[in-house]
Chain A
Amino acid sequence: MSDVLLIVGVAAITYTTRVVFLIRPRAVPGGLLGRFLNVFPLALFVAIATSSLAAPEGTPAVTPALAGALGGVIGGAAFRRSLWGVLAIGAGFFYLARALSG
């Protein structure tokens, strides 16, 4: 398969998964699935953050990124869950830990 065809295939799969519930107006289910959809964004964001910060090389490891995570949690607590508080304190902890670890 040529590279361009492969890219079109990946794009088609990606767009299909994105458009499923948006293709029909007001298609949001209720009940158990509705409750699942209610908690899924939090689970997704925490999973992405954990993957990036606690396992940056693919498996769990103690790295400066983990110090960034700790800083982010402290920043979130100190600045009332502000996004910028999490980013600023987390990045500060990360850069400090990276400098200290050489």
Chain B
Amino acid sequence: MRDNPSFRQGIRDSILIFVAVAGFGTAYGVLAIEAGLTRVVAVLSSVIIVSGAAQFAMVGLLGAGAIPVLLAATGLGLRHLPMSATLADLIGPQPLLTRLRLAFILVDETFGMTLRAAGRGVDDLVAYKSAADLMLYSGFVGGTLIGARFGSSIDPEKVGVGVLFGLLFLGLSAPLIHRPRDWVVAVAAVVATLIATLTVPPAWQVTIAATAASIVGLLAGE
């Protein structure tokens, strides 16, 4: 697969994601140790969950018990349902193992990159997403290792990792705006998110805001 042009393009396009996700992984590693997880368990969580949002929620709610953690993971995970359906449509019929593998790292960042690649006419989206997934996974797990090992001597927020992440999604959304309806959806998403930050538990904010804005988009028609 390494000789596949789409795979190589996926690697090149994901360099920024690698850096940003490594920063988030480092921040997670630091927080996980501070929350009481051992180094091995902190790294294990990144290896098998691969969801920065769910993992941050998990370490933030560890003291509250298992039920709030699992509820938060459910709230955060619901946004994967439409992403899963969209990806299935993009890649078409594929062997079961390929689909199971692509689902394992179905995260906002590489999903957005794959959607953007589809819009640019990249030939092999499976190879492209596999490359983006590889970059994200290695960055996230590697970052977690560093954060868990070096702890509070590291502060990823000093370089503004959170802001770079927000800008990444702003950049991924820009090419998706073509029609007046898309502007309606974008404005509705901004308003719904601001309202959600004031009224909804953190784990559900993005999912509920995105769902509400999508419904507004449906009502707005074409």
Contacts from A to B (Cβ < 8 Å): 1, 3-4, 6-11, 13-23, 25-29, 32, 35-37, 39-56, 58-60, 64-65, 68-69, 72-73, 76, 81-87, 90-91, 94-95, 98
Contact = CB atoms under 8 A, between A and B. Distances in A.
> Would you call the interface of chain A mostly helix, strand, loop, or mixed?
helix
B136 interface: no
B197 A55 contact: yes
B48 A22 contact: no
B219 to A, nearest CB: 11
Which 8 A-B pairs give the minimum distances between C-beta atoms?
Answer: A52-B166, A17-B77, A86-B171, A46-B189, A43-B213, A45-B173, A83-B171, A21-B85
A19 B44 contact: no
A43 B99 contact: no
23 contacts: A10-B49, A10-B69, A13-B74, A14-B80, A17-B79, A19-B103, A22-B87, A36-B218, A39-B214, A39-B218, A41-B82, A43-B210, A44-B79, A44-B210, A47-B210, A49-B169, A50-B194, A52-B163, A59-B197, A65-B166, A69-B166, A87-B167, A91-B164
Give the bracket for the number of chain B residues in contact with chain A.
35 or more
B88 A22 contact: yes
